[in-house]
């Protein structure tokens, strides 16, 4: 049983089959659904009917698509737990993932932590893979990194930097703004190899691009959203260079020591390590 005071929450907008797979993976690993808050942003594909029949979960149904920021805030505020795990609905979880994620955050002394993960095709045995990955990488951490696909956040962070920007037209840029505020507040973050998940790959955003007549290469949000960061071109450039340098250093070290990294892509039946 999970020993922490926590909430798991995700927003969904259509993509029923992925939501089903996500919940089924939680049930498979005996995650109690009474700590799960699902916020539906006006799905029209049968998602709401499926969620209503689930039982045990806390379900919030919005009358229109209010965006990620509003939905995540709704999930966070319902239980106001010590830890809130905010995740995508197109992920598959692993054994004891909640305890592993939060225990590692406490051990490292960080208030924001993400699991390691594989993106792409689920054409491999993830359960078998995550056992090997956990045994190999459980002591490997990228201090200062974080991932938007799944992130556990301690309640003290809300008091220090506030919640997600509740502006529907941001269309997915809410996490970038939130992490920017975390950086400004010097709140330590991490990605850990003690916990793994599989992520199919931004399914909801892909569907919304199709609805708006955009190609998958197009950005979903307004192309000048970066101005909300209030950073100069030079500041953004230097930060990007620093991020690339850190990721290169982590990747090289992890490959040298472990023959794998904390972030991989599954493509054409092979793992590509990033």
Q: Phi-psi bin for 208: left (phi > 0), alpha (psi -120 to 50), beta?
A: alpha
Tokens representing residue 245 in the block: 């340098």
Q: What percent of the chain has pLDDT over 90?
A: 85
Q: What is the CATH topology of the domain spanning 6-227? A: Spore Coat Polysaccharide Biosynthesis Protein SpsA; Chain A (3.90.550)
Tell me what the pLDDT averaged over the chain comes to: 92
Tens of pLDDT, residue by residue over 72-120, are 999 999 999 999 999 999 999 999 999 999 999 999 999 999 999 999 9
Q: Which tokens is 208 given?
A: 């919304």
| Cross-strand pairs, 265 | 119, 272
User: Quick one: CA dihedral 217, 21, 98, 155, positive or negative?
Assistant: positive
Report how far residue 271's alpha carbon sits from residue 274's, in angstroms, rounded to the nearest whole number. 10
Q: What is the mean pLDDT of residues 212-231?
A: 68
From the CA atom positions of the chain, what is the Rg in Å?
Answer: 18
pLDDT of residue 209: 46
Measuring CA to CA, which residue among 68, 195, 55, 221 is closest to residue 139?
A: 195
Give the separation between CA 274 and CA 244, rounded to whole angstroms: 11
Task: Tell me what pLDDT residue 169 has.
Answer: 86
Structural domain boundaries of the chain?
6-227
Give the tens place of pLDDT for each residue, 230-260. 999 999 999 999 999 999 999 999 999 999 9
Residue 224's pLDDT band (cuts 50, 70, 90): confident
Residues 6+ apart with CB under 8 A from 12: 19, 38, 39, 40, 41, 43, 47, 89, 204
195 vs 95: CA distance, rounded Å:
8
* DSSP code for 166: -
Q: Is the pTM for the entire model greater than 0.85?
A: yes
Q: Where are the beta strands (DSSP E) in the chain?
A: 6-12, 36-40, 58-61, 83-87, 91-92, 112-120, 141-143, 150-154, 189-199, 263-267, 270-273
Residue labelled with tokens 């919030």: 60
Burial level of 169, CB count in 10 A (0-12/13-18/19+)?
Answer: exposed
pLDDT for residue 227: 87
């Amino acid at each position: 049983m999970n020993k922490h005071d926590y909430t798991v929450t995700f927003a969904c907008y259509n993509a029923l089959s992925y939501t089903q797979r996500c919940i089924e993976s939680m049930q498979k690993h005996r995650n109690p659904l009474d700590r799960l808050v699902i916020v539906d942003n006006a799905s029209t594909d049968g998602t709401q009917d499926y969620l209503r029949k689930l039982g045990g979960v806390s379900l919030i149904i919005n009358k229109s698509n209010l965006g990620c920021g509003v939905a995540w805030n709704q999930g966070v505020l319902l239980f106001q737990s010590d830890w809130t795990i905010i995740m995508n609905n197109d992920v598959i979880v692993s054994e004891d993932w909640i305890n592993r994620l939060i225990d590692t955050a406490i051990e490292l002394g960080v208030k924001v932590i993400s699991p390691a993960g594989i993106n792409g095709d689920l054409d491999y045995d993830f359960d078998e893979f995550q056992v090997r990955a956990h045994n190999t990488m459980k002591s490997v951490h990228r201090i200062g990194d974080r991932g938007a696909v799944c992130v556990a956040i301690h309640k003290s962070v809300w008091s220090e930097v506030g919640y997600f920007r509740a502006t529907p037209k941001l269309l997915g840029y809410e996490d970038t703004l939130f992490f920017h505020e975390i950086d400004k507040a010097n709140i330590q973050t991490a990605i850990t190899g003690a916990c793994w998940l599989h992520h199919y790959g931004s399914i909801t955003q892909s569907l919304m691009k199709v609805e708006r007549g955009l190609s998958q290469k197009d950005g979903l949000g307004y192309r000048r959203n970066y101005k909300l960061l209030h950073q100069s071109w030079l500041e953004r450039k230097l930060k990007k260079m620093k991020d690339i340098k850190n990721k290169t250093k982590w990747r090289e070290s992890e490959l040298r020591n472990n023959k794998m990294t904390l972030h991989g892509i599954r493509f054409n039946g092979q793992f590509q390590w990033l």
